[in-house]
């Protein structure tokens, strides 16, 4: 294994805290990874990793070498991406993580167009509502709705998505239709929370040019977007969600918009990726392409 490959392996071991996971991420046998790190430590004359039965962590020398190695590999990537042929014809594997509706309703229906435009990029997509650790899981880019909270990531806004508040006809027949946002606290709401955050998101509407929030009671909370919609269809309460996710249900009358005279603030949707001094060409072209899709979907 050459020095750059060994350096990349070492970085992955530190970030994942595991020889096995790092070897798997780089498609290497575990024994090869172990031997390569032993050779690296022998060449440097320093122990880089503390190994226990549960985890692997860098020593003081290992942490210093890790920081320097990241800078060296970033310089190497900068040199490669500066070549016009590499920038205009990006290649490699692009690892994405997408929320379900963004994958199935926006990106996947058009993904063959991305492949036709960039035939040397292979795409690996994970999906769900869980939070992911981009570096640890080897993910290049995620698409997320809402205000980003992780300041360690670079954020590129794709579009603003209109939201609505709605409920099923069954719910409205039992509890009535709110005629003013001030009535929301007297209604049942389906709570939505992110994992690791127990708080329920309040309803938000625009009143006199200002965003105003209203808490509502309720007996159910979920952490999954599809469950959020399903609970509303079952008559469990009001929800606030980007309109594009509900278009079929609204047309069929399974869900009914309420408080249309008080628009909800738009919800931003963003692409996020780990900070590097220069953006990988395959991530750059995906973000540019995704921005086209989202603007086509949500502009006007």
Distance CA 163, CA 192 (A): 15
Residue 221 CA: distances (Å) to CA of 145, 233, 248: 19, 14, 23
What was the pLDDT predicted at 12? Answer: 86
Tell me the C-alpha to C-alpha distance, in Å, between residue 74 and each of 6, 26, 175, 281: 15, 18, 58, 13
Share of the chain above pLDDT 90, in %: 53
φ/ψ of residue 138, rounded to 5: 70, 30
pLDDT tens-digit readout, 173-200: 999 999 999 999 999 999 988 765 555 6
Band of pLDDT at residue 249, cut at 50, 70 and 90: very high
What mean pLDDT, rounded, does the chain reach? 87
Q: What is the mean pLDDT of residues 194-216?
A: 82
pLDDT in tens, 53-93: 678 999 999 999 988 887 787 677 656 655 545 556 788 88
Give the Å distances, CA to CA, from 218 to 51, 131, 163, 178, 255. 49, 25, 20, 15, 18
Nearest to 237 by CA among 251, 252, 227, 224: 227
Identify the H or E element spanning 241.
Answer: strand 239-242
The more confidently predicted of residues 157 and 54 is 157
Q: What is the pTM of this model?
A: 0.70
pLDDT at 79: 65
What integer pLDDT is reported at residue 131 of this predicted model?
Answer: 57
What is the model's pLDDT at position 214? 94
Residue 39, beta-bridge partner list: none
Phi–psi pair at 141, nearest 5 degrees? -160, 145
Question: Domains of the chain, with CATH numbers?
Answer: 3-81 (1.10.10.10), 84-157+269-298 (3.40.190.10), 163-265 (3.40.190.10)
C-alpha to C-alpha distance for 295 and 160, rounded to whole angstroms: 8
């Amino acid at each position: 294994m050459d020095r750059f490959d060994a350096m990349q392996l070492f970085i992955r071991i530190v970030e994942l805290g595991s020889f096995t996971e790092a070897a798997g991420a780089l498609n290497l046998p575990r024994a090869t990874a172990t031997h390569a790190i032993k050779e690296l430590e022998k060449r440097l004359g320093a122990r880089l990793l503390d190994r226990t039965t549960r985890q692997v962590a860098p020593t003081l020398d290992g942490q210093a070498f890790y920081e320097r190695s990241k800078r060296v590999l970033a310089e190497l990537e900068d040199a490669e991406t500066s070549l016009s042929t590499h920038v205009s014809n990006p290649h490699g594997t692009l690892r994405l993580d997408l929320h379900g509706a963004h994958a199935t309703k926006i990106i996947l229906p058009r993904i063959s167009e991305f492949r036709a435009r960039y035939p040397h990029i292979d795409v690996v997509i994970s999906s769900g509502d869980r939070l992911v650790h981009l570096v640890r899981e080897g993910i290049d880019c995620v698409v997320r709705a809402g205000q980003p909270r992780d300041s360690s990531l670079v954020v590129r806004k794709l579009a603003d998505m209109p939201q609505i508040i709605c409920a099923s006809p069954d719910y409205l027949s039992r509890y009535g239709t709110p005629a003013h946002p001030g009535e929301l606290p007297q209604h049942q709401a389906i709570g939505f929370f992110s994992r690791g955050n127990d708080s329920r998101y309040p309803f938000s509407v625009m009143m006199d040019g200002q965003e105003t929030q209203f808490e509502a009671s309720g007996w159910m909370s979920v952490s999954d977007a599809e469950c959020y919609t399903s609970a509303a269809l079952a008559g469990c309460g009001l929800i606030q969600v980007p309109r594009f996710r509900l278009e079929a249900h609204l047309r069929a009358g399974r869900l009914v918009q309420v408080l249309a005279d008080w628009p909800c603030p738009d919800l931003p949707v963003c692409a996020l990726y780990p900070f590097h001094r220069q953006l990988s060409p395959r991530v750059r072209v995906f973000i540019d392409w995704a921005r086209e899709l989202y603007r086509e979907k949500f502009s006007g």
